[in-house]
Every structure is written in C-alpha cells, then in structure tokens.
Structure 1
Amino acid sequence: MSAQLRALAAETCFLVIDQGKSLSEALPKAQQKLASAPDKALLQEICFGVMRTLPQLETVCQHLMSKPLIKQLRPLQFLIYVGIYQLKFMRIPDHAAISETVEAARSLKGQSLTKLINGVLRNVQRQPALFDFASASLAVQYNHPGWIIDAIKQAYPEQWQTILQANQHKAPLWLRVNQQQISPAAFMAELTAADIAHSQPLSYLPVAIKLEQARDVTLLPGYAEGWFSVQDGAAQHAALLLDSQPGDVVLDACCAPGGKTCHILELTPDITLTALDRDEKRLARVHDNLARLSLQARVVAADVLDTANWWQGEQFDRILLDVPCSATGVIRRHPDIRWLRKKSDITPLVTLQSEILLHAWSLLKPGGTLLYATCSILPSENSEQIQAFLSQQPDAILHPISIANNATTWQILPGEQDLDGFFFAVLHKKITT
C-alpha cells in the first residue's frame, strides 16, 4: 500500500469531517486516482475505519500531541489518524504503516512535520495502553457523538449499547435476485460454482442473498445480465410490504437511487409506476438500474410536494414513501453519518416528513395503500410521526405487518438478523361513502 494511498485517505477524511462532504461523494473521486481494485478497496477500508473510530483516534492524539494541527495543516492531522488506524486495526506490518504514512506527509506539503508524525506513530506502537478507554466518555467508548448516544439511550434503554456496538461493525453485502431474469436457486448455484460463499437468511424473502465476504459486484455472475441488485435485506422488505397488484398505478415518491423502484417492478411487472425524486443527478442511477435490469418506469425529476410540475391528475393505488431522514439506521454502512448529521437537523426533518406524508396521502386513492419508510431508528421520525399523522387523518388505518408478528409498525434495529436499521408503517385509506 503506497504513500499516495495514505495521502488520499487523509484528504478524503479531511473533506468529510472538516468540509462536510459525504464519503459517498468524496471517496469515489479519490479512488479514481488509484489504478488497482485492491488499492481502491484498501482506501475504502481505511476511510471507513477512521470514520468508525474517530473519537478514539483523537483521544490517542491528545495524549501524544500538545495540540492538534490546524488550518492548512489539517489534512496532516487526518494523516496521523490514518497511521494510527493502520497500527491498531489493520494487518499491516508496523514498519510499513509508519514509514509509508511519514512518506505520505511529503505529498501533503508536510515535509517539516515528518519527525512529529513519525514520533506519534512510534509512541502508539510502543504504548498499547493508549487504547484503554474504560474510563473515557461514552462518546469515546462507543465512537458516537453524544447527542446520538443520548437519543438512542432514551429510545432504547435496554438496547442502546447493542445498537451502538452494532454500528461499529461492517455491514454485510446483501444482494436481491431479479426473478424476472433468474430464480434464486439458479443464482445461488452460479455463486456456488464461482466459489462465492453465501447464505439465504430470510425464509420469507427468498430473493435476499447475503455474501459472506464483500466483493466487487460487477465481477459477480450475471451482473451485466441484470440477475441481481445490491440492496440491504431490510430495504428489500419495502416492495414486499407495498404489495402492488397487477394493473396498479404506483408512485415511488422519493425513489433515488432506485433499488426499491426496481424491486417493485420485479415483483409485479404489470403495473404503471412513476419514480419521482427531486435530485436529478441521483436519478441517473435510477435510469442505469432500470436499464441493467430490463425494467421500465416513468422517471421524473421533481419534488413530490410540487404536484403542478409532475402529477398527471390520477390518484395512485399504491405509494411508497421512503422519506428523507436522519439515516441513523444505516450508520454501520455509512459511518460518516454520525459526524455529518447534527442534532439540529432532526426537527426540520420531522417537519418535512410530516409535510410529505400529508401531501402524498392526498394523492392516494380511497382503498389504496401507502407504505411509510425510513432508514432511521429515532421515534420522532417513525412511530411518533405515524401517530401524529393518524391523529389528523380519520380515513387512515394501520395495517398489521404479518412478518413482524402483526405489529402495527415495524422498527428493525441495526444488526438484527444482520440487517440495517429500518422503519415501516403500512397505511390503508378508508373508502368513505
């Protein structure tokens, strides 16, 4: 692993933490500067790892440095974190981790700091007790900002530690078999023939396949032929719960990047589906996914609240409402969320969700079904949001969810059955006379 790779990791982490870029935006641009697939994977592993352990890395540095590097030297502070992460958490020889990290400082205009960086990393090497955080704050012990810890403790007093610990683990790679192209059994046979370890953990969702190791999905059997998509097992429940029927007019109101859109069409091709999203750039992924999977939908760049610009006047039989949310259920998959999301974001998000839900309800036919979904675990966005909605809408009733033991709403917590955190509520609109 080269000094260039370490420098790219430091720059990427700097962009996320100090500049507010998401890893999904910053990391691919950095990976483009590397030639080999293994180097790109290692860059991702380091960046994700620094995001997962940032408070502990900062705490170690506080013991070894009189003050953190600031202003134009900030990328070099992140380079130190990159070096510490390698020493503590990766199977890289110490001498390589130290020497290449020091060398990377030169390309980051840190020639004058090579001795400092070398000294910090050698102290980390010699003092394993630096990583004893038993008496540290909860934010350091669990590598989460305090406000998220407080919110999860309040919502889940018996499970908060389990949730935070689950967020520290890498999320598995889940696939969804496209039954319009191949059966789950045939696809799994292809995986077995290619010596790719996999399992089928959800008996009621046979299209959900979990790989035992992360892989470049473009190299898996049938990628170009549209045999499968990448989608977490939790998210795969959305199309199942929406339960579209042949002939239905369906709206996926916040559709990008299109995983749920495609799954709905795979389950019920004989529908008319409008896939809507306000972010035109993200809709490129929707078009790509539809094309690769040989599926068709009306894809529109518009805000669901601005019906004058997209709605054709016909109410929908089914609406999927996967609303913008805090994404607190997918922190293990996107570890930068814990640093990008702020406590002050939650109230505006809850307000927006309420507006979208109320507006979408007006577009639903009497007798129709609306599925409200988030990848959040905060009650204010989920169960409390639904209760507030029901108190305003006498024509709305919750439909029990059979695969959740007939619960009226379903909160999946991170790590349950190795799934992401997700919330679902199935709302039926009464037919009034």
Structure 2
Amino acid sequence: MVETIYALSSGALPAAIAVVRISGPRSGDALQALLGSLPEPRSPSLRTLRDADGEALDQALVLWFPGPATATGEDLAELHCHGGRAVVAAVLAALGSMEGLREAEAGEFTRRAFANGRIDLAQAEGLGDLLSAETELQRRGAMRSVGGQVSGHIEGWRERVLGFAALIEAVIDFADEDDVAALPAGFQPDLSALCAEIRAVIERPATDRLRDGVRVVLAGPPNAGKSSLFNALLADDAAIVTAEAGTTRDVLERPVSVGGVPLVLVDTAGMRESGAGAIEAIGIERARREVEEGQIVLWLGAEEEAPAGSVQIHAKADVAEVQGSGLKVSSVTGEGVDALLDLLSERGRAALPPADRMAFNRRQKALALEAVENLEAVDTDGDLLVAAERLRAARVALDRLVGRDSTEEMLDALFGRFCIGK
C-alpha cells in the first residue's frame, strides 16, 4: 500500500508562515484527526488544529485537495501554520503519531508527481534546477523545462518518428497493394529536417553549465598574481596571498555572479617545470586538468606559453611595465578589474545556452544523440525491416528523455537533489 507522507514544505524557521504538506491515501484521515472534519475541497478554511488529546496546536489556513487532480496525483492537504519552531514541531509530532503516516524523504513529493504522471522527467529536472537557481538566467532556463516547453518539443519529435515508422510498416505489410507500394516522396526530406532540428539543440551548450556556472580558471606560473586577482574578482580574501612561490597548492573554487551570469572562479597552483615538492606537483597536475576543462582560462604567464583560446592577463600592471597584448589588471589599484568583469560577463554569456531557446542537459544530450544517430542511419533504399528497427530505437531514446523508461538509480540521484518538503 502507498504510504502517506508529510513534511515542512516552506523555508527555514522561524518564519511568518510555515506550510506543512501531506500526501497519500490517508491525507483525509489526518485532516479529520487534526480538524474534526474535512473542509470543502479546494477552498481555504481557517481551522484550529488539535492533537490526539484535543489540545489546540495552532490556528491555520487549511486546504484539502482530493486526488488525482493534485500536484502529486494523490490526496493532498496543506496546513498553513504560524511559522514558529514550537508550533511546527508540535504539528509534525501530531502527524508522526498517526498510524500510516511517516515523514517524507528528500524529493519524495516530486517523485510521486512523476510516478503518477503529473510531470515528466524533463519537468522534474527543470524543477530541481529552479529550486537551486540564483540568477535570472538560471531561473529562465529552468522555467523552460518546468513549463513543459522542452517536453513539448520532445513529444512532437516522438510523434513524427511514429509517423515515419507507420509509413515504413505500411510498405512492409502491404507492399503488394498499389496505393502503398512505396514511401511518399517527402519521407526522406522530412526525416532529414527532423534530424537537423534535433542536432541544432544538441549542439547548443548544455544546461548543466547554466546550473553549475561557467568555469573561469586562473592559471600561470608561481607568483604571477593569480590568487590576488582571484580575491579581487570576489572582493574577498578567499585565497592566501604571499610572496612565497607555491603558496597555492590545490584548486580553490568560488561561485560568483557577474552581470547576472553564473561563474565559478577557479584559483590554481602555479605551474612550473621544476622545483616543486611532491604536494605542489599534485596541485600543478590538477591545475593542468582545470585548464583543459575550463570554459574560460585567464592566463597570467608569458604570452608564448598561453594555452590556446585563453585570455592573456597582465596582473601586476601597478608594479611593472606591461609589454605585448592582453588585458592590464592591478589587484592593488583596481586598474582593469571592471574591464575584466565585463569580459567575463560577455564570454560567460556566450558559453551558456541561449535564454530564448531550448537546450539539453548532459543526460538529455546523450539520449538525443542516440535518437538522431538512429534516425540518420535509416536507409529507405535498403532493408526496410532494419529501417523500422532504427526508428524504434530512436523512439525509445526519446521516451527515455522524458522518463518513460527510467532506472531507479537515476531517479534516486535526481530526486535526492531536492529538499525534504519538495
């Protein structure tokens, strides 16, 4: 039997209002026990909550939503209580004492919504991103998934694949009939157009970068001013700065928003070929990996040693005459810092998926690629049974995009990102 779950679904206490959510087949029984009677469905009602001994716990605004047309697809209740810690603790204790009720696990309400068909996997992933959004770009990107725009596109692609499959099956099954002896002339152009649409979305930057932030790696030799610049960009003393070479021996990361663009600044160990101890050598190797994987690399060393595609930074413009090209910056005087922040905002925005277009996360990209590769392999001049199997495989990949075939391990990882009350 499906268990009935409950949890505090609003923010940290104390607060003006605390929302306690109950979902499952015994939600109505729980309300009866707390209120003495059920309120009118979907109509807010101010009621007194009482425990099993009849003692008043709080006056709360109560809402009762009989399933299945609810957020979770089950009977659902919400208690909008006063947000004091003692009040909420007493209400949760009263619910916990009821038979058949237990406290929800992280993401369990949303997982039930997915299991009951109220949302699909793409919407659930978008909701997870929305909960963690800290910038306007992150919020807008997440809302495209939560609002069903991503799912709608995928469903449209799936319907077109089913249409292609039906045409091929008709030719296979009724090839001896004159009116279905061959595929229509538009079959291949339409299939190619679908492949192009899916490829266009795959080639856009992944939404994971929008969620996690664009990695900006500060790299160069020891004592080049990386940690000082790192601190200046953060307006914080996050990194230890000394004149001693090799002070930074590991990777130091800090998230920051620049011009509304989510970035992760990465300070790395100074890279040198000799003179490093065992611990520093490990830090140097990690620095090299960060340079390879970073979306933006700020190079504070000699221009001839700069990694391909990096931004040349002269970080000690206040103490040395700068020769050559690159951006002149001083962490001491602030010279060039604003210009560097503008550059990071511009490049960071270019490294993110466009705010007005659909984009995939890494999981979705892999499945979309599987789908399009099968579609591109459809050969209508060869064995049509093989072509039909390619279309079936493409449809299965699109199904997995929206969670029609999802493993428990993947779902555990996704919903584990959510808070207890969500």
Instruction: Tell me the TM-score range normalised by the shorter chain.
Output: under 0.3
| TM-score, normalization by structure 2 | 0.23
CA radius of gyration, larger in: 2
Higher helix share: 1
